[in-house]
Amino acid sequence: MAARNLLLLSNSTVHGSGYLEWAQEHIKDFLMRRSVRRVLFVPYALRDMDSYTEKAAKKFTAWGFELTSIHQASDPITAVRGAEAIFVGGGNTFQLLKALYNHQLLDPIRHRVLKEGAPYIGSSAGTNVATTSINTTNDMPIVHPPSFNALSLVPININPHYIDANPANTHMGETREERIMQYHELPDVPPVLALREGSLLKVEGDLATLQGLYAARLFVRGKQPEEFAVNSDLSFLLK
């Protein structure tokens, strides 16, 4: 197996900054160190894929990369097989995964990334589909994918956009922590890494590191949640 090269972002935009600005140095370094010139964009998580592609291309072009979209390719599978790097954008996770199934792209992406080492960048929904399943997404099921099983590029689940409970809030619905704990009432489910906005998981082979702006929270079935600071080694999650 070739070395995994993953950059899994909690989100694309943090308050007070523009699209991907908080992560731009991480993304540029990640691609440049692997001599990537061209990036294949997967915009299936949003319906207006032309506008979404234009937005992503403007950013990547400013950084010195060429970005093309899979939705404009005559053969999406061939596009994946020839991709130098893959960027899967955010939006609705159910819609994204359904499109990946519809276009029969899960196995080609998995092979290109895990067997051939192509760099993979995910943001929000794009991070959700990189994990074992989309069971811990925050999104509404606006469409029905054939399965919740995802790419399994890492053997865990991730909860992007994680929000801590506010003791002063009078809202009586479940907190994000409670919802993840309810997921862990099921047997044989993987750990869930809760990424606050502005955080990312970087995976290089068997090494996983928390990077970005904020600490992350790890949920493991039968255990109390644990906090991990930025730059923590999370490689144990890959075993």
Active site residues: 124, 139, 161
CB 80 within 8 A of CB 111: no
Closest CA to 6 of 85, 105, 90: 85
CA angle, 236 as apex, 230 and 238 as ends, to 5°?
A: 105
Q: Is 99 left (phi over 0), alpha (psi -120 to 50) or beta?
A: alpha
The 3-class SS string of 23-76 reads HHHHHHHHHHCCCCCEEEEECCCCCCHHHHHHHHHHHHHHCCCEEEEHHHCCCH
C-alpha span between 76 and 64 (Å, rounded): 24
> What does each C-alpha distance from 173 to 169, 170, 227 come to in angstroms?
10, 9, 23
CB 161 within 8 A of CB 179: no
CB 83 within 8 A of CB 5: no
C-alpha span between 87 and 125 (Å, rounded): 11
C-alpha span between 6 and 69 (Å, rounded): 19
